Structure 1
């Protein structure tokens, strides 16, 4: 007994190694995970919130108080005829995923698991979208309100476009007016590389958005350990938000933020000079976020939570800060001043005839219900335990004690993403259309589902059925 206590004391003094794959091995206990308390009640609240949000939206629309949206709180309309036969391939893929994904996640060598998660997530998103026909992947990007419709104004001179972007904002298409110039620069880069057209753009968007499954798995391995990362992979692949991965530009934003965070986590866990380029790459990607969408600023809570979890060295932080400054400095020197862009976008939003007139009180509640639709019942069931983990960690006085709280490595990024959503929701910046806007946040909240003890096939099936139901009943504009 004395020897055992002495060995435990030595282990506690040593702490986690810098080159260990997991930041806190104690965060993933070898014993089966305890039962999630309050989970059933949370699922009941999840279902009731969805019913209430759509019922209230129907009443508002009938009373003539809802604007712009045919199926509030979604910016979509109900399908006249559900695509039953057309959805059979996606349903078959879902059934195969529920059966196979837990096995692959448990047994596949780690080096192959993130690429497999990427491929699986892309296949799931494409299978759902394909139920609308062969041209469905690029169709949302062909709308006259989308970014490609504004390419004619950028082509003559991209530098002049940046310098005058704020001054000429009122003349651009709807989505260009609502965002910084970053998305248009992505389109310009693709066209310059010979990949112009909405087909190539759709491929890039789906590839970036589905790659977040791999990036989040890599991040969780650094913050919570390999067991937690493996448990999360099936839920990241069969995510309910997949209908908006194919094809919404917000999926591209998701990919940029997810890989920026993953590189930050990897850099923080590595020892030696190899960590510096990874940290610089993380900063470069994260520095793009405010220039892709103004609403992505609260997403920085996720990489901050990851850095708090893994505690990087000063050299890594310095490299990350240097990379973070590159894009803001470059675009500022080229003539785009970010605060002026925010003000101009807000001005065009306030004078718009639709979205600015939406009810704040209704969407304050309904937008959170849409977040539940994106994350699914499995996350609702796991959320009480995730919030409980964060509460227990907050009560502890030292970082070393907090690092030993089981499940903290998954709770921190999930809780940070949820905090970002709440900030946007309460601010009133986002009123409606959040089925796409919440996607970069919803993917990180999906990490909470890792608390379900594998194989968790019932919860995985519930997630897949949620996505299938959305695709069958809702015709989205993106």
Structure 2
């Protein structure tokens, strides 16, 4: 049976023969890879070869199962969401779906974190290594702090040293707006991070049609990465990238002044990424995939380019030269007792096992299908030649391109060796895009079972792992 999406484009006529077996094999590999990463990490730590982390490959420590009642609200919410979200995603008017998805993701994220008490929402940001601890050095003169950021880098807290200055300036601006303190900072991170569910759904609708976006929403909401959305600053980075990409996709689909305004806004947000984290550069593969799939008009690209240039120009004029920041951060990284001292050979595959924890078994099941669709379903020659036929990329292939772009970014960053451990937070902006792979897999009647598996993974992580984020 041939299917068409909301834009009238033809979809694949059902799952290819053998998909179920390849999916089951992928889930078995997913589970075995995670188990192997923890087993080897335990051995390395016992042998004294990996001492930076108590529970490698996670920068966390193990804990016993907490009192069951603490996880009951989150478990009950997960059961309700797994049962109701597929029907809601299929039947709600589109305008209502992104806000409902955002609210659902926020409720799920907060319920998970609150199993450790309400103080756990802001607790991660209160550590002496985190951004808020460095605000005292910024407050007297933010412009002087920015001008001297690189040369004074060694005197700042761990997370400030490891990132460009924009995250600190965001927290300073929040404080100046009368919303100071780690509680408001945590609220910003969680609200922004969970809003990315809506942004990614909007992007999927633009590139692949409404049916694919509706199929992706439940898996975006219940992705296990929610454990680290509360509260790692990387969740805020995810939101900036997701909304920048969504605005770019809307601009490519739109026309007139509104499309140009969306393009400028999308470019402005995407231009912030290198100033939020040096490790976000490979994430540009996702908006690039959107551009290749949608072929926006030249004036839309020009407007996006203008917005993209704003943040780099502003920081340069105010005295922060990005390449110097990269160099200084790399110098502090190499002499630190942290990531640079970890084993590259171990963390190269172990980092991918952590990515599997963030994305869950449903994405593992979908991955063979996604890669097959990506390889055979995208007319790459047409796309790269800007042929008219490039506008008829099948929906499943368009979704696969988004997930594939995020996976490519992860692989580039992993191979670089800069990310050795602590990737449970670093992968958050990438892992959310991989969750859309479930829309390619289309488990249809089995969606609730896979959603339950996703939720169970998150609950197990929350119950067994005590993370600083």
TM-score range, shorter chain: over 0.9
Supply the distance in 2 between the matched residues of 1:136 and 1:404 (Cα, whole angstroms).
44
Shift of residue 25 of structure 1?
3.8
2:295 matches 1:311: yes
Closer, same or farther in 2 for the Cα pair 1:419/1:27, shift >3 Å? farther
- 1:360 matched to which residue of 2? 344
Supply the distance in 2 between the matched residues of 1:191 and 1:213 (Cα, whole angstroms).
26
**Residue deviations 1:148-181, cap 9 Å, x none?**
0000000000000000000000000000000000
CA contact (8 A) 2:356 2:364 kept: yes
Closer, same or farther in 2 for the Cα pair 1:165/1:173, shift >3 Å? same
Larger displacement relative to structure 2 (394-403 or 306-315): 394-403
- 1:442 matched to which residue of 2? 431
- 2:58 matched to which residue of 1? 74
Shift of residue 68 of structure 1?
1.1
Supply the distance in 2 between the matched residues of 1:230 and 1:395 (Cα, whole angstroms).
24
2:463 matches 1:467: no
Larger displacement relative to structure 2 (157-166 or 77-86): 77-86
Structure 1 residues not aligned, in runs of 5+? 1-15
Supply the distance in 2 between the matched residues of 1:366 and 1:253 (Cα, whole angstroms).
23
- 1:264 matched to which residue of 2? 248
Supply the distance in 2 between the matched residues of 1:355 and 1:471 (Cα, whole angstroms).
24
Supply the distance in 1 between the matched residues of 2:265 and 2:366 (Cα, whole angstroms).
33
CA contact (8 A) 2:241 2:269 kept: yes
Given the alignment, which residue of 436, 441, 454 partners 2:444?
A: 454
Given the alignment, which residue of 284, 288, 311 partners 1:327?
A: 311
- 1:186 matched to which residue of 2? 170
- Secondary structure of 1:66's counterpart equals coil
CA contact (8 A) 1:67 1:357 kept: no
CA contact (8 A) 2:245 2:286 kept: yes
Given the alignment, which residue of 215, 220, 224 partners 1:240?
A: 224
Supply the distance in 1 between the matched residues of 2:378 and 2:11 (Cα, whole angstroms).
19
2:86 matches 1:95: no
- 1:410 matched to which residue of 2? 399
- Secondary structure of 1:299's counterpart equals helix
How much is the aligned-residue C-alpha RMSD, in angstroms?
1.5
Closer, same or farther in 2 for the Cα pair 1:162/1:308, shift >3 Å? same
2:414 matches 1:425: yes
Larger displacement relative to structure 2 (233-242 or 452-461): 452-461
Shift of residue 406 of structure 1?
4.9
Supply the distance in 1 between the matched residues of 2:215 and 2:281 (Cα, whole angstroms).
29
Shift of residue 405 of structure 1?
3.8
**Number of matched pairs:** 457
- Secondary structure of 2:140's counterpart equals coil
Closer, same or farther in 2 for the Cα pair 1:351/1:83, shift >3 Å? farther
- 1:143 matched to which residue of 2? 127
2:211 matches 1:227: yes
CA contact (8 A) 2:208 2:394 kept: no
Q: TM-score, normalised by structure 2?
A: 0.95
- Secondary structure of 2:120's counterpart equals coil
Larger displacement relative to structure 2 (201-210 or 401-410): 401-410
Closer, same or farther in 2 for the Cα pair 1:27/1:193, shift >3 Å? farther
Closer, same or farther in 2 for the Cα pair 1:103/1:438, shift >3 Å? same
